Amino acid sequence: MRRPVARSLAVLAAGAAVVSVGAAAPPTPHERPAPHTPKVPVAVGHGGAVSSVDADASAAGIEILKKGGNAVDAAVATAAALGVTEPYSAGIGGGGYFVYYDARSRTVHTLDGRETAPLTADSGLFLENGAPIPFAEAVSSGLAVGTPGTPATWQRALATWGERGLGTVLKPAERLARDGFTVDETFRAQTAANETRFRHFPDTAELFLPGGELPVVGSTFKNPDLARTYRELRREGVDALYRGDIGRDVVTTVNKPPVDPDSGWNARPGELSARDLAGYRTKSQPPTRTSYRGLDVYSMAPSSSGGTTVGEALNILERTDLSEASDVRYLHRFIEASRIAFADRGRWVGDPAFEDVPTRELLSQRFADSRACLIEDDAVLSSPLAPGDPRDPRPCASGGEAAPTTYEGDSTTHLTTADRWGNVVSYTLTIEQTGGSGITVPGRGFLLNNELTDFSFAPANPAVHDPNLPGPGKRPRSSMSPTIVLDRYDRPVVALGSPGGSTIITTVLGTLTGFLDRGLPLVDAIAAPRASQRNTARTDLEPGLYDSGLRQDLEAVGHSFRENPEIGAATAVQRLPGGAWLAAAETVRRGGGSAMVVRPAR
């Protein structure tokens, strides 16, 4: 996609220029803007690197690296800062997945910090009178809130691999919450998109709709409640949430959502308990591992489906020389491999504490080959496609009924860090959809997740076992795909990830194949227009592809498309010779990302 990608990047860059000019609405007279850190999508240098969607958050990670912290310390500092500047995507009210490369042992480790259902939950969690609750109603309710895993993830990562403690790495985020950040067009737009439901909850409206109005672009947004919450976590540790006052406030809020009685909103209560919080644990588990083009691709094992689904798609593509394929053949093969991998994901992947997930078999080359033979260059597979059986792979065979892909919120955020010792972190964290549940914990300054809506409300296909139904203490299936790629000497090549719900998987897959197979520079592989097929009748295309001649060529083969204005928002780091790092982020999506290094190269 060399020439089409270049054309699309030119269009996207022009669009970014228009947005930046139009976004400079002046602050009101009584508001003094916070110092503004400019966004740069690519940076090269030594001493370590940080890439995130936000400049203030990336700067927090760089601050910790400059003070002697390592990649883990910088990742937690960046994540905490994103809880301030990206509160609709992440924060201590949510969860995520943490992938760490240890340079000394040249090994990859992971932490599953996914939210869990209350111990009272069962498969009928989202059913009323035998029928599923409307999704839009479930989202903004206490019923949707899972036990947060983010604070526990931070504590476990720092205690296991970090050089600094929570009391140190939360300081930049606490300062940012206290002093404020500059509102940009993305923050205002996300607030506007949630304005109606934010007004259902007085504490949320008071925080994010100051004076009853949308925040003004260019004004300073402060969150003193969150600053105090971070200070409490710094002093008391994460037990302040899992066994202390913060936790008691969370439980009260979930079980009796503070809704405006005049709104008419039915904010269904949850059943979260102090026992749920006190019993929460992150899971340390082996990563998934896939061999691709002589490299080893490591990612998250279930409860996330990211590692198995990206890995299976890569295995399917292994037999095709994508570096020499035409643009049409590359995209066709990419789309079909994604379709097949999602078909198998829907049938087999859930929380392994509750489901028998054949992780090893899903990632076997033998199974991938048995599925790859379904792909023909002059025809398109129909969706929803039935799954194969990884335990008994037979060439071109599908087993049982198809399980359509269920909806996942498209928010979330991703960050990537590296340090001067060569350690790397790829970390995806979330509160589910943009704005999470919409419920702010009173006096605490953070939104609660609506992560339990990632469960299937009812079996997608009654004839097929659904591994993603709710259960007591169960983790809902995720698509988060924090990924680290190593060379044959077990040294990092690239680390990356993205937000975007189920499109996370195709975003990571597309960025990897663009970088590894198509020879695109990392920042261009991130910026390239995206396609996302998730075992549905139509494939999502961003405008750069939808408006190109490639769409007509693919439609001639039999593909069907719908336009999606924006898919994902990736960040990445790349190891360069001589101990240097390249950090890369989005050029345009979500207002552009922020790549920084400790000591920039000239």
Sign of the alpha-carbon dihedral angle for 456, 457, 460, 464: positive
Alpha carbon 25 to its chain's center = 30
Residue 398 corresponds to which tokens in the numbers above? 């599908």
Tell whether residue 303 is among the known ligand binding residues: no
Residue 402 corresponds to which tokens in the numbers above? 């198809």
- Residue listed under structure tokens 């400019």: 38
Out of 78, 406, 412, 453, the active site residue is 412
SS3 245: helix
C-beta of residue 125 within 8 angstroms of C-beta of residue 32 = no
**One-letter-per-residue 3-state SS of 196-241:** HHHCCCHHHHHHHCHHHCCCCCCCEECCHHHHHHHHHHHHHCCHHH
CA distance 254 to 271: 7
Instruction: Please compute Rg for the chain using Cα positions.
Output: 22
Burial status of residue 21 (CB atoms within 10 A of its CB: 0-12, 13-18, 19 or more): exposed
Tell whether residue 321 is among the known ligand binding residues: no
Tell whether residue 231 is among the known ligand binding residues: no
> Helices 327-348 and 365-372 meet at what angle, rounded to 10?
120
Q: Please report how many Cα atoms fall inside a 13 Å half-sphere around the Cα of residue 17, on the Cβ side.
A: 6
Query: 492-497 and 531-532 as β-strands: parallel, antiparallel, unpaired?
Result: unpaired
Tell whether residue 366 is among the known ligand binding residues: no
SS3 278: helix
Q: Please report how many Cα atoms fall inside a 13 Å half-sphere around the Cα of residue 513, on the Cβ side.
A: 30
**Closest among 387, 329, 335 to 358, alpha carbons compared:** 387
SS3 428: strand
E strands in 344-423: 413-419
Tell whether residue 478 is among the known ligand binding residues: yes
Q: Which amino acid is at 337?
A: A
CA distance 387 to 519: 32
Residue 84 corresponds to which tokens in the numbers above? 């301030």
Residue 203 corresponds to which tokens in the numbers above? 């504490």
Residue 539 corresponds to which tokens in the numbers above? 């494939």
User: Which residues, listed in sequence order, are joined to residue 562 by a DSSP beta bridge?
Assistant: 540
Query: 288-292 and 295-299 as β-strands: parallel, antiparallel, unpaired?
Result: antiparallel
Active-site residue flag, 412? yes
C-beta of residue 436 within 8 angstroms of C-beta of residue 90 = no
Sign of the alpha-carbon dihedral angle for 8, 42, 290, 350: negative
Maximum distance among all Cα pairs of the chain, rounded to whole angstroms:
70
C-beta of residue 181 within 8 angstroms of C-beta of residue 221 = yes
C-beta of residue 583 within 8 angstroms of C-beta of residue 42 = yes
Buried b (16+ CB within 10 A) or exposed e, 43-77: bbbbbbbbbbbbbbbbbbbbbbbeeebbbbbbbbb
Residue 344 corresponds to which tokens in the numbers above? 């198998």
Q: Annotated binding residues, as ranges?
A: 114, 454, 478-479, 501
Q: Annotated binding residues for L-glutamate, as ranges?
A: 114, 454, 478-479, 501
Residues marked active site are found at: 412
